[in-house]
Amino acid sequence: MRQPAAVARAGIGARRGQRHAGAIRPAVGDALEHADREPHTLGDRHGGADARGHAKTDPEADAGAVKSYTSKKYHYKISYPPDWIVTPGSGNYSDEFDNFVYPYLYVYRDVVPSGYYVAVSKAMNQRIAYFKSHYHASVVSNKSIKVNGWPGRIAILKGKDGVVNLQIQELILAKGRIGYELELMGQLDAAAADKALFKRIYSSWHPT
């Protein structure tokens, strides 16, 4: 019987985007369940959103023209607002999408070792614990979801990064040994627009 593996992050076990990187997160193998020990807790997968910019992306512009990006490293394709730029992940960094101001999008893929599978609920619980610890976050919602045939969970949290009130949207999708994580971190006063934006973005996602 295959054993469950919790997906560590920046996504699921790496470092956040290179331009806003924090401490290195543990490898996914460090979060595996074993009979003789408890799974490791997650580290700081990202160093906090950049509070320099407070501008919000125009939701009407987002709803119109979009660009698409195909990640050869993480094997997915996704659409994003045309005024954003992409910083592809290298090493253990996640792909990062933004316009140098909130919101920031991070996308990551990981494959757990043979004999294990991605335990989505456990992975999400670990992410929520991380956000509570590092961003003083509280859970608004946490529910199951299916995106283009991939089952998973999506959570929305409210938190704080310094003086900035945040809305954090966390999506984890998995099939067998493969897990994807998408996160949109934005300012709380743009919550409604960011929810609509994140839905458009993750609805466009598909593995390649």
Instruction: Say what the pLDDT of residue 65 is.
Output: 81
Residue with token string 């610890």: 133
Task: Locate 203 and state its tokens.
Answer: 């609805």
Instruction: Say what the pLDDT of residue 152 is.
Output: 98
From the list 85, 68, 113, 96, the residue with the least C-alpha distance to 206 is 68
Instruction: Say what the pLDDT of residue 4 is.
Output: 65
Count Cα atoms within 13 angstroms, Cβ side, for 38: 4
Instruction: State the CATH number of the domain containing residue 157.
Output: 3.40.1000.10
Instruction: Say what the pLDDT of residue 2 is.
Output: 58
Instruction: Say what the pLDDT of residue 3 is.
Output: 62
CB atoms within 10 A of CB 183: 26
Establish whether the linkage from the previous residue to 103 is cis, with ω within 30° of 0: yes
Tally the domains of the chain. Answer: 1
Residue with token string 């998973």: 152
Instruction: Say what the pLDDT of residue 168 is.
Output: 98
Q: Where are the beta strands (DSSP E) in 72-163?
A: 76-80, 85-87, 95-98, 104-111, 116-118, 138-147, 150-161
Please state, in angstroms and rounded to a whole number, the distance separating the CA atoms of residues 165 and 17. 21
Instruction: Say what the pLDDT of residue 158 is.
Output: 98
Q: pLDDT in tens for each of the 208 residues of the chain?
A: 556 665 543 334 444 554 443 322 333 333 333 323 333 222 233 433 333 333 444 444 445 689 999 999 999 999 999 999 999 998 889 999 999 999 999 999 999 999 999 999 999 999 999 999 999 999 999 999 999 999 999 999 999 999 999 999 999 999 999 999 999 999 999 999 999 999 999 999 999 9
Q: Which domain holds residue 122?
A: 3-50+59-207
